[in-house]
Structures are given as C-alpha cells and as structure tokens.
Amino acid sequence: MLVFGPVPSRRLGRSLGINNIPPKHCSYSCLYCQVGPTKATETQPRTFFRPEAIFNAVEQRLEKLRDLHEAVDYLTFVPDGEPTLDANLGKTIELLRGLNVKIAVISNASLIWQSNVREILKMADWVSLKADSVDASVWRRINRPCEGLDLDDILSGMLAFSADFNGTLRC
C-alpha cells in the first residue's frame, strides 16, 4: 500500500501517509521497531517505486477525500523503513508539490550526514530526525545501525541541516 489514511496526528493534524519504501528496508534494526527486525540493514539509496506511481496514488486518494469533504493537512513520508533510502524521494516531493498540501518526512536521520540527503529533506515543510542517544555505545545497542554508519557524522549532519532548513524541524 503506497498511501494510507489520513490518520490523526498530534503534530501534523490529518496526515496522509506515504509508504515510499517496501517493508523493512532500513539502515537500522532498532530493538523497539514496531515493524520488526531488519533482516539486512542498508545505506545505499535505490529505486523502489516510480515517483509517478506514488504521485498518482496520492492524487487519487486526495480526490476521494475531497469528494467526502475530508481535509488533509500533510502528505507524510512515513514508510516501513527509512524514507531517505528512496533514490527518487526528491523527484517524488517535486511532483507532490503540485497538489498544494504540505509535505512531511519522518526519518531516523542515519543518512543526514550526506549533503544530497540534506538537500532533498530541505524540500519538505516539516522534518522529523530521530536520535535515540548521543552516546555511541548506547546508540549501537538500541539502533543496531548498518555497518559503516558513524554517530558523530550523523549528529554533525543534523546540526548542518538545522542551520539551513527553513521549515519545521523535530528532533
């Protein structure tokens, strides 16, 4: 299911969820993940769904909701994995901009150290970046990150993003 909801959200009002990543493609295998353990963590963005397919699914759902006089406050990338692993996230956001609904991205922040990921996330109106710990040993125990990820790089990337982002940032 590419699109679900809308669901009520304390922070986002009525949020239409976008599942741009198939289940459990993630850079972490967090102990507490509601979707379950990640079989193989990954950090290399790739194509999962065509941006046009996501756009069409969102557009059709919005049309049905408008017919029912139901409002949507945000289009929210909140997949069953890490949304920035989608190589087409930027293109998808560009397409969705034409629907005149604010865009949110909920990320585990694992790839925020990459400048291209920061540039893509700057296209959103609202971004949530998660950091369970600033202590590397605790972070490794809780998040069980993909080999090669470095907490200091992630935290530096979060700071760099926060300095340049003009939207709403939740950390």
pLDDT tens-digit series, residues 149-158:
999 999 999 9
Q: Return the residue matching tokens 């901009």.
A: 97
Distance from C-alpha of 111 to C-alpha of 85, rounded to nearest angstrom: 8
Mean pLDDT of 102-123: 97
Distance from C-alpha of 42 to C-alpha of 160, rounded to nearest angstrom: 23
In the prediction, which pLDDT does 36 show? 86
**CA geometry: angle at 105 spanning 101 and 109, to 5°?**
165
Model confidence at 37, pLDDT cuts 50, 70, 90, reads confident
Model confidence at 44, pLDDT cuts 50, 70, 90, reads very high
Write the burial class of residue 150 (CB in 10 Å: 0-12 exposed, 13-18 middle, 19+ buried): exposed
In the prediction, which pLDDT does 34 show? 87
Q: Provide the CB-side half-sphere exposure for 97 (13 A, CA).
A: 11
Write down the pTM of the prediction. 0.94
In the prediction, which pLDDT does 163 show? 96
